[in-house]
Amino acid sequence: MRHLLSIEDLDRGEIELICDRARSFAEVGRRDIKKVPTLRGRTIVSLFYEASTRTSSSFELAAKRLSADVVSVKSVGSSVDKGESLRDTIATLSAYEPEAIVIRSPEAGAAALVANWTEAAVVNAGDGKHEHPSQALLDVYTLIDHVGPLDGKRIWIVGDVAHSRVARSCIRAFVTMGAEVTVAGPPTLIPRGIETLGCEVAYDLGDIGEADVIYALRMQKERMNHAFVPSLREYAVNYQINGRRLGPRQLVMHPGPVNRGVELSPEVIDGPASLITAQVASGLLVRMAILYEILAGGERPRPLSRIGGGGDRSRESESSPIGEPA
Amino acid sequence: MSAERDDIGSLDWRGEGTAGDLLIRGAHGFDPLTGLDRECDIVVRGGRIAEIAEAGAGEAPEGGEEIDASGLHAFPAFFDPHVHLRTPGQEYREDIESGSRAAAAGGFCGIVAMANTDPVVDDPAILSALRERAESEAVVPTGFVATVTKGMAGRELTEMAALREAGAVGFSDDGLPITDAGVMRRALQYQHLVGGTILLHEEDPALTGDGVMGEGAVSAALGLAGVPDTSESTMIARDGALCLYEDARAHVQHLSARTSVEAVAAAKQAGAKLTAELTPHHLVLTDEEVRSLDARFKMNPPLRTEDDRRALIEALRSGVVDCIGTDHAPHAPHEKEIPFEAANMGVTGLETAFAALYTELVLPGVVDLALIVERMGAGAAVFDLEPSRIEVGAEADVALVDLDAEWEAGADGWESRSVNSCFAGRRLRSRPVVTIVAGTVAYRRREFTMKVAG
At B162, phi and psi to the nearest 5? -65, -40
Which residues of B293-387 form beta strands (DSSP E)? 323-324
What pLDDT does residue A319 have? Answer: 42
Which residues in chain B are contacts of A164 at CB distance < 8 A?
223
B window 350-389, beta carbon within 8 A of A: none
Q: Identify whether residues A126 and A137 lie together within a single domain.
A: no
Quick check: B218 and A193 CB within 8 A? yes
C-alpha dihedral, A200 to A202 to A207 to A208, nearest 10°: 80
For residue B313, the SS3 value is helix
Rounded CA gap, A322 and A297, in Å?
10
Q: Which chain A positions have a beta carbon within 8 Å of B338's beta carbon?
A: 85-87, 113
Q: What is the DSSP string of B109-131?
A: EEEEE-S-SSS-S-SHHHHHHHH
How far apart CA B113 and CA B381 sit, in angstroms, is 15
Interchain CB distance below 8 Å, A108 and B293: yes
Confidence at A75, pLDDT banded by 50, 70, 90 = confident
Residues A72 and A176 in one domain: no
CA-angle at B365, arms to B363 and B370, nearest 5° = 80
Residue A52 banded pLDDT, cuts 50, 70, 90: confident
Report the residue of chain B nearest A86, measured CA to CA.
Answer: B338
Q: CB-CB: which of B228, B334, B339 is closest to A110?
A: B339
CA distances from B433 to A304, B199, B294, B361 (A): 61, 31, 30, 20
Residue of B nearest to A192 (CA): B216
Question: Quick one: fold of B77-383?
Answer: TIM Barrel (3.20.20)
Q: Collect the ranges in chain B with pLDDT lower than 70.
A: 1-9, 450-454
Query: Number of residue pairs across A and B with CB atoms under 8 Å?
Result: 70
Length of chain B: 454
- By C-alpha distance, the chain A residue nearest B305 is A193
Mutate to test the interface with A, among B289, B291, B306, B338 (most CBs of A within 10 A): B338
Peptide bond into B119 cis (omega under 30): yes
Q: What gap in Å lies between CA A190 and CA A203, rounded to an integer? A: 8
Query: According to the model, what pLDDT value does residue A322 have?
Result: 52
Amino acid at position A256, single letter? G
CATH code, domain carrying A148: 3.40.50.1370
pTM: 0.91
Which residue from B223, B340, B341 is facing A168, i.e. has the nearest CB?
B223
Range of the domain at A159: 133-278
> Taking CA atoms, what residue in B is nearest to A190?
B220
Q: At what angle do helices A133-147 and A165-176 cross, to 10 degrees?
A: 50
Asked if A241 and A172 sit in the same domain, the reply is yes
Rounded Cα distance, A8 and A2, in Å: 15
Residue A195's contacts (CB-CB under 8 Å, 6 or more residues apart) are A201
Q: Is residue A250 part of a domain?
A: yes
Which residue of B210, B215, B286, B341 is the best one to mutate when testing the A interface, meaning the one whose CB has the most A CBs within 10 A? B341
CA dihedral A260, A264, A270, A276 (to 10 degrees): -100
A34 band by pLDDT with thresholds 50, 70 and 90: confident
Residue B289 near chain A (CB below 8 Å): no
> A163: nearest CA in chain B?
B223
Are residue A123 and residue A164 in the same domain, yes or no? no
Q: For the domain B22-74+395-408+427-452, what is the CATH code?
A: 2.30.40.10
Q: Catalytic: which of B173, B327, B397, B402?
A: B327
Percent of chain A exceeding pLDDT 90 equals 77
Q: Do A233 and A304 belong to one domain?
A: no
Q: What domain count does chain A have? A: 2
**Domain segments of chain B as ranges:** 22-74+395-408+427-452, 77-383
B228 CB neighbours in chain A (<8 A) are 192
Task: Note whether B22-74+395-408+427-452 and B77-383 share their fold.
Answer: no
Note whether A179 and A266 are same-domain residues: yes
3-state secondary structure A73-142: EECCCCHHHHCCCHHHHHHHHHCCCCCEEEEEECCCCHHHHHHHHCCCEEEEEEECCCECHHHHHHHHHH
Residues A83 and A14 occupy one common structural domain? yes
Same domain membership, residue A104 and residue A139: no
- C-alpha span between B325 and A306 (Å, rounded): 59
Smallest Cβ–Cβ distance between B223 and the set A165, A192, A196 belongs to A165
Task: State pLDDT tens for residues A252-290.
Answer: 999 999 999 999 999 999 999 999 999 999 999 999 999
Asked if residue A326 belongs to a domain, the reply is no
User: Given this model, what pLDDT does residue A314 score?
Assistant: 41
Same domain, A127 and A138: no
Q: Are residues A138 and A257 in the same domain?
A: yes
**Residue A11 β-bridge partners:** none
User: Is A128's CB within 8 Å of B339's CB?
Assistant: yes
Tell me the pLDDT tens digit for each residue of A79-134.
665 667 889 999 999 999 999 999 999 999 999 999 999 999 999 999 999 999 99
- Check if B327 is active-site: yes
C-alpha distance from A46 to closest chain B C-alpha (Å): 19
CB spacing of B221 vs A131 below 8 angstroms = no
A4, A140, B51, B319, B344 from A291: Cα distances, Å:
9, 17, 74, 58, 34
* pLDDT number for residue A78: 64
Interface confidence (ipTM) of the complex: 0.87
pLDDT of residue B249: 98
Q: Enumerate the residues of chain A whose CB falls inside 8 A of the CB of residue B231.
A: none
Residues A54 and A174 in one domain: no
Residues A142 and A270 in one domain: yes
pLDDT over 50 (residue A1) = yes
CB atoms A107 and B340 under 8 Å: yes
A195-205 confidence digits (pLDDT tens): 999 999 999 99
Q: Any CB–CB contact under 8 A between B215 and chain A? A: yes
The answer as to whether A227 is a domain residue is yes
Give the torsion sign (CA, B84, B89, B91, B96).
positive
